Amino acid sequence: MTESAFIAVCDLDDLPIGRARAFRVMDTPVALVRTLERVHALHDVCSHADVPLSDGDIVGNTIECWMHGSAFDLTTGCPLTPPAVTPVPVYLTRITQVDDRAVVEVRLTSAAAPADPSSTSLATSRTAPEES
């Protein structure tokens, strides 16, 4: 499996809205965050303190590092508050239908925004087509 492939990580129902969950995807720490609009994936290590971002709080469209309070934009990975100054990688996500389950998939190629935002939108997630 290559880094450019989408990898099934969990069922959508396993992600509570407004909280981060930690996963390991091909030995890469990934934080998945489900908001009302979509599922975000970002590198699960704070660029300032080398601690898991998934242990932090979700505030609006940000994840806040629990150690020093740096807030990172969920879509871009850019730090919005100090002390962090370096962005964290964000990853593409999509939601596919597998039998009667909505499955969250991640592609580890870093990207600032999904190639097709409708593929991660929760409004259309259950009917999103699979990528070829």
Residue 111: per-residue pLDDT: 60
Residue 109 — very low, low, confident or very high, per pLDDT cuts 50/70/90? confident
Residue 1: per-residue pLDDT: 56
d(CA 119, CA 95): 6
- Domains along the chain with CATH numbers: 6-127 (2.102.10.10)
d(CA 67, CA 46): 9
Backbone angles phi, psi at 117, to 5 degrees: -55, -30
pTM of the model: 0.83
